[in-house]
Each structure stands twice: as C-alpha cells, then as structure tokens.
Structure 1
C-alpha cells in the first residue's frame, strides 16, 4: 500500500454503522417476532400525528395487528379482529360489555393515516379510534374510517417480547 493511500485513509471518514430497523419502521415483507411467534408484516397503517403504527401481521392463516406507539417509551399491543357492529361513530359508548367483560374508554382520538399493503381500510384518510381497557387489563380497539367500523381485542405486549428478525 502506498504512503499516499495510508495518509488518505487517516483523513477519510469511517463508514457509518448500519442502523437496525425499529419496529416503527417495518413495512410489508419484513419479519418480526411477537411473544415467541414469528410473523410476516403484510400491511402498515401509519398515524404521523401520534407517531403510531398498526402493523398487519400474518402467521400462516392467522392474522394479528400490532399497535406500536412511541410516547415516553414505546408501547406495544397485539390485537385480533372480532365480530361486532356499531351504527354511528357519534354513538360509540364509553363502557362496552362484551363476553362478560366491561371495557372502559381510555382514549379517543382521530388523525390522518397512511396505509400500505394489506390492511382493513384500503385508503389513506381520516381515522377515528377508540381504545378501551377492562379491569383485568384486556384491551379493545374500535376504528372507524370511510363509513366502516373494525373491532379488535387484545392485550399489551412487553417490549422484550417484540423484536425485528429481518428488515428490508
């Protein structure tokens, strides 16, 4: 190696380390693990106003939804869709009784969302969300967008149980 090349290497900047992709940045085709189950990410709904993402996860035929929100710390909740119907977004109650559980309204918000991949709502737009919690820490989530309701039940997931396996 010539002396000029050695001197040039002294002054050149080192290559920046490749940053690991966070769960908030995952997109369709990525692989993650939640509570020891490996899922492929097949869709993504991003609410920029809240720094929140709902990932559509698929494990074989099983579909689940991982809600990720960055506040003081990153919070995770894993949901599965349930059957249910509401008629009017203005009449969503503050207490819901489902399967001998009472869910109490914790938070209600709305915001613009961007959708990619296979998700329950196929268009970007304004989305209204109601998040409930029962006394035994089970969660219920109701989403309304473009005249359609979706309901999910789930539970919180600790951050140690969520990791990126492969990201593109």
Structure 2
C-alpha cells in the first residue's frame, strides 16, 4: 500500500456504528423468532407514551400478535385473535369468564397509536386497551377503536425466547 493510500485511510471518517437490533425497533418486513417459530412482521402499532408496540406476525397463513413492552425488563406476550363481542365500551367488565377460564383485569389504558403495515385497526387514532390475566397465567386482551372491538387470547413469553433475526 502506498504512502498516499495510508494517509487517505487515516483521513477517512470511520463507518457509523449500526444501531443495536432490539424488538422495539422492528418494522414491517423484518423477521423475528418467538419460541422457536420464525415470523415475518407485517404490521406494527405503537403507543409512544407507554413504550409499547404490538407487532402483527405471519408464519405462512397463520397470523399472531406479539406485544413488546419496555419497562424495567422486556415484557413479551404472544396472542391470537379470537371470536367474541362486547356491546359497549363503557361496559367492559373487570372479570370475564371465557371457556371455563376466569380472567381478571390487570391493566387498562388508552392513547394515540401510530400504525404501519397490516394491523387489526388499519388507521392511527385513539385506542382503548384492557388486559387480563387468569390464574393459570393465560392472557386476554380487548382493544377498542372507532366503534369496533377486537379480542385476543395468549400467553406470556420469556425474553430469552424472542430473537431478532433480520432487520431492514
């Protein structure tokens, strides 16, 4: 290598450091692994005020949802949509019995959401969420936006079971 090439290399700016891959930075088109299953992310709903995202995952024809919450630790819950109906947003109960399992309200919040890609509610806006947990650690989630309810059933996932594979 010649002297001028060495001098030029010393003067060049170093490559910028790539940001760390975290579940909170996942976008539609990225790929992640949850409990040894590989999913393509096709949608993202974000509550900036809560440091929470709701990812729509696809594995073939199967659609699931991963809730990622950054608190003291990473919290993950994996859900599937279920059939169900509630009549009014002001009549959501604090306890719900579903297929012989009792769910108890754990958290209730609302806020403005931003959406990208294919999500249960395809438009940004005000969204209300009720989260429940049963005695056997099963989870239930109810969402309401623009006069429509969506129900999900799922379970907690340990942080070691969630891995970012490819990020755009």
TM over 0.5: yes
Cα drift, residue 161 of structure 1: 0.5
The RMSD of aligned alpha carbons is: 1.4
SS at match of 1:111: strand
Cα drift, residue 122 of structure 1: 1.2
Cα drift, residue 75 of structure 1: 0.6
Cα drift, residue 103 of structure 1: 0.3
Counterpart of 1:66 in structure 2 is 66
2: distance between equivalents of 1:59 and 1:102?
Answer: 30
1: distance between equivalents of 2:9 and 2:147?
Answer: 61
Structure 2 residue ranges without an equivalent (≥5)? none
Cα drift, residue 4 of structure 1: 5.4
Q: Deviations over 1:115-166 (max 9, x none)?
A: 1111110110000000000011100000000000000010010111001111
2: distance between equivalents of 1:55 and 1:64?
Answer: 8
What's the TM-score once normalised by structure 1's chain length? 0.94
- 1:1-168 map, 5 Å: 1-3=1-3, 5-7=5-7, 9-10=9-10, 13-168=13-168
Structure 1 residue ranges without an equivalent (≥5)? none
SS at match of 1:6: helix
2: distance between equivalents of 1:49 and 1:157?
Answer: 23
1: distance between equivalents of 2:20 and 2:73?
Answer: 18
What's the TM-score once normalised by structure 2's chain length? 0.94
Aligned length: 168
Cα drift, residue 5 of structure 1: 4.9
Q: Deviations over 1:55-83 (max 9, x none)?
A: 00000111000000101111100000011
